[in-house]
Structure 1
Amino acid sequence: MALLVLFSTISFTVDKHFCGSVLVDLAIFSEAEDCGMEHSGEMMDGHGCKDQTIHVEGQEDLKISFNDLDHPKQVFLASFTYSYVELFQELPKALIPFSDYSPPLLVYDIQLRDQTFLI
């Protein structure tokens, strides 16, 4: 859902450069480079070079500024963000005094010997 909102608010421009009926360059977010034929005056099959621009406009009504909110909402949003970030602070490493010792050898299974099972 977040990706849908993100992609619906993005605006971008697709720029195409054609020489005759052949696509020479395609550029997104920038201007397409020309083939250089229009500067030299050459024509290709009677057709000249042309540029085509497609502009896709994103939704503007989803953009909310922090300054557009009233003061109680700003306080709530700031305190919620601060408390949420503080939730994930790392705890210090605990000292385990018996970490270097191995457990005792298990000679036989006591639960199986006494026939006591948790159900």
Structure 2
Amino acid sequence: MKEKLHRCLSCLMAIVLLLSTTSFKVEKHYCMGHLVDVAFFVDAQDCGMDMPLGDDMSASVEKSSCCASEVIAMEGQNDVKPSFNDFQLDQKMFLVAYTYAYIGLFEPLAKRKQTYAQYHPPKIVENIQLLDQVFLI
């Protein structure tokens, strides 16, 4: 039970570390108010109805596009590298002793040899203390 709990917690911590350091983005493209494309980690494809912004358009004519894009981006951490230069001598000694003791927990235990594995006790037919009339007072 303890071993399974230890494995579950270590997997959970690994997943949390992975999710906190990974960057991702979700991009959605809407055309006329309807969702056209959703893309994870890449750019969403447009519907081809975007209005080009060229020199031929006059500045006085403002036309709004029927398309819209929504981007949800999450930046991950980049400074996760541990620094071992800040440890002092007593902290290093404790870390070494703790690691050695922790690794010792996983060594297999020696099995005891059962000397009476095939022995079956006799069946008691009558109470011997009552037959001999020996009582503890």
When normalised by structure 2's length, the TM-score is 0.49
Specify the alignment match of 2:87 in structure 1. Answer: 69
Deviation at 1:66, TM superposition (A): 3.1
Deviation at 1:80, TM superposition (A): 1.4
1:32-61 deviations in whole A, cap 9, x for unaligned? 452353xxx335xx4335351321555x6x
1:7-40 deviations in whole A, cap 9, x for unaligned? 489234342222214273253xxx1452353xxx
Q: Is 2:71 the partner of 1:52?
A: yes
1:44-90 deviations in whole A, cap 9, x for unaligned? xx4335351321555x6x97433331233122201211122214422
1:42 corresponds to which of 38, 49, 53: 49
Write the letter of the residue equivalent to 2:49. E
Work out whether residues 14 and 26 of structure 1, in 8 Å CA contact, stay in contact via their aligned partners in 2.
Answer: no
**Unmatched segments (≥5 aa) in structure 2:** 1-9, 51-64, 129-133
Distance 1:54 1:16 in 2: 6
For this pair of structures, how many residues does the alignment match?
102
Deviation at 1:98, TM superposition (A): 1.5
Identity %: 21
Deviation at 1:99, TM superposition (A): 0.6
Work out whether residues 37 and 46 of structure 2, in 8 Å CA contact, stay in contact via their aligned partners in 1.
Answer: no
The structure whose Rg is larger is: 2
**Unmatched segments (≥5 aa) in structure 1:** none
2:103 corresponds to which of 69, 82, 85: 85
CA RMSD, aligned part only? 4.1
When normalised by structure 1's length, the TM-score is 0.54
Deviation at 1:101, TM superposition (A): 2.4
1:56–1:105 Cα change, 3 Å: farther
The residue matched to 1:84 in structure 2 has which SS? helix
1:106–1:42 Cα change, 3 Å: farther
Distance 2:101 2:21 in 1: 34
